[in-house]
Structure 1
Amino acid sequence: MDQQSLVMLVTSSSPQTQLFIDYLGQQLNCPIVLVSPGSTQRAITGRTVVLLDIDYLDEGIIQEWHSLSSENPENITLAAFNLRNEDHAVEVLSAVNLQGVFYHSDSLAMICKGLNALMANDLWMSRSLMTRMIQFFRRQQLNSYRPACGLTQRELEIIAMLGTGASNTRIAEQLFVSEHTVKSHLYNIFRKIEVHNRVQAVNWARQHLGAPPPLTSSRHQPDKQATKLIET
């Protein structure tokens, strides 16, 4: 096992949590760091397995960790524990890129075995779960980002950027439009797909549209006179 590896446990602090941390530290022979659900570690260096306690995290926090791991895949391996069953795992995996899955029913020994596998850069999930996820993403590909629910191409572009965690300011800069225009598009998107916030919109897109189309990062900045003509 890489001696530089550590496990970051994202859950609520309690006496039971401390016992869990002590057990993992003894069995894995690596540092175990507790992170409260309300905070996201932004500076992670070295090999880190982030273990998310699904019982204590809302969708917004889970998406923050998803974005962070996507930005730093070489250092961060994302896993979740306290999942109810395989159906629950499919639901979570459809929105978050996890390398490991642990259930309520898993023993401490099984969790340690899985964490060892994750620190060795292996996946930790059942064959049946992986089969279901392959089938899920194949179904998504059949309808991948074709016009849906009356969404325009620009609205699809914006909903794709939401999935990267981009702010309204960042979206406006990327698309060379005003923040007011972005807000108008978001209002129309939420109305068309019947959601109320960004997290729900991202989850809706992953469920119905599949992986977002690649965003072009090499666009040239238009001149100031042309900028006003592309406010769409």
Structure 2
Amino acid sequence: MQTLIAEDLLLLLLDDAKGTLAASDKVQPLLGGALLLELALAGRVGVVERTSRWTSAKVAVTGTPPGEPLLDEAMARVAEKPRSAQDLVDRLGKGTRDVLLDRLAARGLVERRDDKVLGLFPHTTWPARDARHEESVRALLQGALVQGLTPDARTSALIALLAAIDHAHKVVDRGDLPARTVKARAQEVADGAWAAKAVRDAVVAAQAAIAAAVTASVAATTAGSS
């Protein structure tokens, strides 16, 4: 089954039984980063070197739309004007979670369940309906992060995104391996020579942008609660 990297990320972050989402506060920039990397892997966008020390590197369109609705929409957003990856990941990720969940449900991979908390507040969960695709993705991650196998570019991009939110060690069966070992392996994969320079630049930019967006979100939450 052909899925987007962003769709695979959501499947990995969803609890199969409860249908709830882990790292929900990090999902918007994470999914935006996933769309950005998908376009970069396909040669549709790239990171343009900054022109001075006072400007940030910008993401630019380098190819034609791939013909996939969500990616075409993301590419159109990139084409609007020069923006940094940090600016783009949040923009690209806005509203994407719900669209992707509906797509996954339409494919029969998850099931939408609408309920009410305390009989009053609407609450939607997305438990697994057919976990075979997710299991195949986890097997690739298991091979790369636990068994030390060399992942392909798409799996490497997925690992780089998971590493950006410190979640790679949570989606595999570590066995006796310490979490720090799996984390180190995830970062090693993310930093590896598995992609052309244009994609490599996009990976670095997306990771930094996701980390910055998550840090800003945590800071805002902390300030609001003080």
Common fold, TM-score beyond 0.5?
no
TM-score of the superposition, structure 2-length normalised?
0.24
With a CA cutoff of 8 Å and minimum separation of 6, indicate the structure with the bigger relative contact order: 2
Give 1 or 2 for the bigger CA radius of gyration.
Answer: 1
